[in-house]
Amino acid sequence: MNAQSYAKWNKMSVKQKKEFIAKYFINKCKQTVDKWNLLNEQQKGKLIDAFFELKADEDELRALSDPKFRQELARLKGLTHRLEQDAYNKMAVNPQTGVYNMKYKKY
């Protein structure tokens, strides 16, 4: 199990771990508790890593399907673009003169 998954796994209660395994191993993988119990620790760790990745993908898809989230994401991307452009303008050097542009706006 990788460090990130290990940290998440250790924060979970026994009940949460059982629900997690039931959701991903038993329901999604169509396996049984007996098959889970037959796996060694290394195999379980690799599966738990994969399940956390799957959960992250599901969470991302769920978020992207939310219109409010998509609107906020678009707003933040626009803000990021404006900040990057502003920083570039402030730090850019005029290739002809070798002088900084220093286009500072007063707010």
pLDDT per residue over 51-92, tens digit each?
999 999 998 888 888 888 888 888 888 888 888 888 877 777
* 35 and 12 share one domain: yes
Reported confidence tier of residue 103, pLDDT bands at 50, 70, 90 = low
Mind listing the pLDDT tens digit for each residue in 7-43?
Answer: 999 999 999 999 999 999 999 999 999 999 999 999 9
- Residue 5 class from Cβ within 10 Å (0-12 exposed, 13-18 middle, 19+ buried)? middle
Q: Does 87 lie in the same domain as 45?
A: no
51 in the same domain as 7: yes
User: How many structural domains does the chain have?
Assistant: 2
How many CB atoms are closer than 10 A to CB 36?
Answer: 16
Kindly give the residue spans of alpha helices, DSSP state H, lying in 1-107.
3-11, 14-21, 33-38, 41-64, 67-91
**Residues 19, 41 within the same domain:** yes
Distance in angstroms (rounded) separating the CA atoms of residues 64 and 73: 9
Range of the domain at 36: 3-64
Identify residue 76 by its one-letter amino acid code: L
- Predicted pLDDT of residue 77: 86
What pTM did the predictor assign?
0.60
Shared domain for 27 and 45, answered yes or no, is yes
